[in-house]
Chain A
Amino acid sequence: MTIATLPDTTDARAADSQWAVETHGLTKRFGENVAVNGVELLVPRGCAFGYLGPNGAGKTTLIRVLLGLTHADAGSMSLLGYSVPRHRDLALARVGAIVDEPRFHGHLSGRQNLQLLAAAREPAARDRIEASLDRVGILHRADDRVSKYSMGMRQRLGVAACLIGDPQLLVLDEPMNGLDPAGMQDMRDMILSLVAEGRTVVLSSHLLDEVERTCDAVAIVDRGNVIRQGPISELLAGSSLVLQVDCSDPDRARSLLQTTNIGADIDASEVGLGITLPAGTGRDVVAEINRVLVEGRISVYRLQEVQASLESWFLQVTSRLGAPQ
């Protein structure tokens, strides 16, 4: 099959697709181990999408299946509207990816490695090498051998390798690995700028804080299953409400609150109370807690609603849904 023989309607259909990544029932097995288990994943175009999961959850395997690095055992998928693997070449022409740690030919310079990759892409890719190296900040080291690069520089070179294809979709597997704080900031800014240009970035990372700062939406994967996905704000809105209460007598305050029917988990410490309320708890419950404490002659110095973080939510859902079975 050559690209030229494909009808133009393929492009038209692909452009109409609203999803950068779409999978249905995607499954990949390694013997008895099901690494990807009937995954249903929808990644909207033009956003930064986080792909999270504990070690061994199947994140990298799913990415490898999506990119055609390994074959799926069942299910269907498409990238940028192109069915994969049928139109794999068309889809990957618009995709840049780092999978696992970025490794290159160590005896070649960064520029020469990119030349090797650009030659496998369209002719215009070669013209983008300088700009790509400049954008990731390693233009001054472009002629050094990659064997002399630090891990962080290899990460940057990996991103440059993605950019030479001028991709509409970037799949970055742990791109922050090996980067110093300044490098992480640069990478974060670059991802945001790529999204601002209308590209889609799928970011697989263990660094939940980074994902929360960078991504618009996330999917949580555990044991090969996508257990949650959606915009971060909506997912966090469905998480528990945590109140931090600084008061004069935390132990008595806990006893008082336990006699009520507000249904909260309460932890007492020397400085106050940590109260976890079920998702969807209204503000009137917060007022009720304050009233009970004041009427119980406990001085309340501070009552603060703690913003649920992606990390706490991640731990919450993975510990509940990903618990040993």
Chain B
Amino acid sequence: MTTVSQVSAPLPTPAPSGMGGPRDHRGSFVPTMGMIATRFMELRKRRGLMVALVLVNIGIPVVFLGVRLVLHASAPKSYGPAGGYNIYTGLTAGVLYIFGFIVAATLGCTAGSIDLTEGMFRHLVVTGRSRLALYLARIPAGLAIIVPLVALGFTVVCAVCVFAAPTRINYDGASVPAHLSLSGFETWAGNNPDPVICDLPYDQPITVSVPCPGGGQVVINGPGPSGATVQNVPSSPSDIKAQAIQVAQEDYPGYKMLFLYPSDSLMIETGLWIELEATVGFIVGLGLASLLGQRTVPVILMIVLEIVLTPILSRAHLPHLANLQRAVVGLATAHLAPGGLPVLGGGGGGPGGGHGSPALLPESTTVAVCVILAWLVGWTILGAWRMMNRDA
């Protein structure tokens, strides 16, 4: 039984407040700079999370490269240079790409769930601010953390791989100077005929004899070092030089594909590619955590997606599920990998490897881009929808 009539006459209405006025666009879905800045602060102040992100993104490459630098400095004959092309490809495609995704996903899952689990969500809802704006503010705030962090780790890798790169190329056992033109390569071969004739792969018959290292062999009239006929017949220096130049001409295309350190364009492309992967990890993690309303399970799911499901689905041959496999975002980003990078646990790529690993399920660049956009937009919509309809 309600006795509304018993309520007394209302007291005088308070003077209209100048605060909380109706002109602050509170219902707009566009987050304000202040919302983004304070959300950035909230994430940045999570000391444990930030330490973990820095350790994984920067600490692992720094420790790995630091140990190599120290070892090379102390025993250069036993330990090779810390940097170089191969180290670069291994660290970027094998560490930064995968761990960048995981740490970005962890940050996204944190940003997507922590207001709810820590009881701040209802405070924010009671402000009257659009829930969509509250959600969208997390995207630039989180990216403002993860993008520089990934960039910093990547910069460390690039710096060491360029400035601590080897000075000579090891080409099938032959130590060759880097970046020679064809004529320079021929000149160098003419001046160093023994390693060229003994070590470089050459399928044509060799008509001279030279002493090869590691056994004092003499090669003559053989199909090459591996199948050489051994005879102790001296050849003239001019014949040996001509033979070396001939071998150099034959092997120059292979030599051209070897690098001491990554090129500027490769580093730029790789940097953008790793940032793309981290962005995908963050936004998908944000949406998934917002959808589920918690952090732990989404983090586990994201890790499983990255290091278990994606490699399997990228390489498995399932004819009836090929299009479903192509919808995996990890496969799509792998297809956008810069040429020369082995991806998804190796098995392809390498110098001149083209776009992505040849063992990956084929996918056009257009499809890959569409898949990535669909994941970004789809998870943002799902996360925002859940946030807008969730009980606070």
Contact = CB atoms under 8 A, between A and B. Distances in A.
A107 B47 CA distance: 8
B13 A161 contact: no
A94 B391 contact: no
A129 to B, nearest CB: 12
Contacts of B207: none
A231 interface: yes
Given A4-B23, A92-B126, A128-B19, A105 B42 contact: yes
A319 interface: no
A128 B28 CA distance: 23
Interface in B2-22: 2-4, 6-22
B125 A46 contact: no
A99 B6 contact: no
Nearest to B115: A105
Interface stretch (B32-40, B176-184, B191-199, B323-331): B32-40
A122 B26 contact: yes
Interface in B341-392: 391-392
Interface stretch (B96-104, B116-124, B161-169, B233-241): B116-124
B10 A67 contact: no
Contacts of B39: 116
Contact of A227 (B1, B7, B23): B1
B6 A234 contact: yes
A39 B1 CA distance: 10
Interface stretch (B77-85, B127-135, B291-299, B302-310): B127-135
A93 interface: yes
Interface in B35-57: 35, 37-39, 41-42, 45-47
Contact of A69 (B19, B45, B392): B392
A230 B19 CA distance: 30
B120 A44 contact: no
B3 A15 contact: no
Contacts of B11: 44-47, 216
Contacts of A115: 38, 41
B127 A117 contact: yes
Contacts of A47: 10-11
B173 interface: no
Contacts of B34: 118-119, 123, 126
B7 A229 contact: yes
B24 interface: yes
Nearest to A44: B10
A105 B42 CA distance: 8
**B interface residue count range (under 10 / 10 to 19 / 20 to 34 / 35 or more):** 35 or more
B317 interface: no
A80 to B, nearest CB: 9
Given A70-B391, A103-B119, A225-B2, A198 B124 contact: no
Contacts of A3: 22-28
A6 interface: yes
B7 A44 contact: yes
Contacts of A118: 34, 38
A40 interface: yes
Contact of A46 (B14, B27, B45, B128): B14
A68 B14 contact: no
A247 interface: no
B134 A46 contact: no
A198 B22 contact: no
B127 A40 contact: no
A158 B391 CA distance: 20
Contact of B127 (A4, A165, A321): A165
Contact of A88 (B9, B13, B128): B128
B118 A116 contact: no
A15 B13 CA distance: 8
Given A167-B20, A228-B3, A2 B25 contact: yes
A119 B204 CA distance: 75
B28 A229 contact: no
Contacts of B19: 122, 124-125, 128, 165-166
Given A3-B24, A122-B20, A116 B128 contact: no
A119 B37 CA distance: 9
A165 B20 contact: yes
A166 B8 contact: no
B7 A217 contact: yes
A39 B4 CA distance: 11
Interface in A71-120: 71, 88-97, 99-108, 112-113, 115-120
Contacts of B17: 94, 166, 168
Given A44-B7, A117-B127, A235-B6, A18 B13 contact: yes
Contacts of A197: 14
A46 B17 CA distance: 13
A252 B20 CA distance: 67
Nearest to B17: A166
A321 B9 CA distance: 26
B113 to A, nearest CB: 13
Interface string A1-12: 111101000110
Contact of B8 (A67, A97, A228, A231): A231
A199 interface: yes
Contact of B120 (A69, A103, A231): A103
B20 A91 contact: no
A161 B123 contact: yes
Nearest to A43: B7
Contacts of B23: 3-4
The 3 closest A-B pairs by CB, nearest first: A103-B119, A198-B14, A92-B128
Interface of A: 1-4, 6, 10-11, 15, 18-19, 39-40, 42, 44-47, 64, 67-71, 88-97, 99-108, 112-113, 115-126, 128, 161, 165-168, 197-200, 216-217, 225-231, 234-235, 321
23 contacts: A3-B22, A3-B26, A15-B16, A46-B13, A64-B392, A67-B125, A68-B126, A92-B26, A93-B127, A94-B20, A104-B118, A104-B123, A107-B45, A115-B41, A119-B38, A120-B35, A121-B128, A121-B129, A123-B34, A128-B19, A226-B2, A228-B2, A235-B6
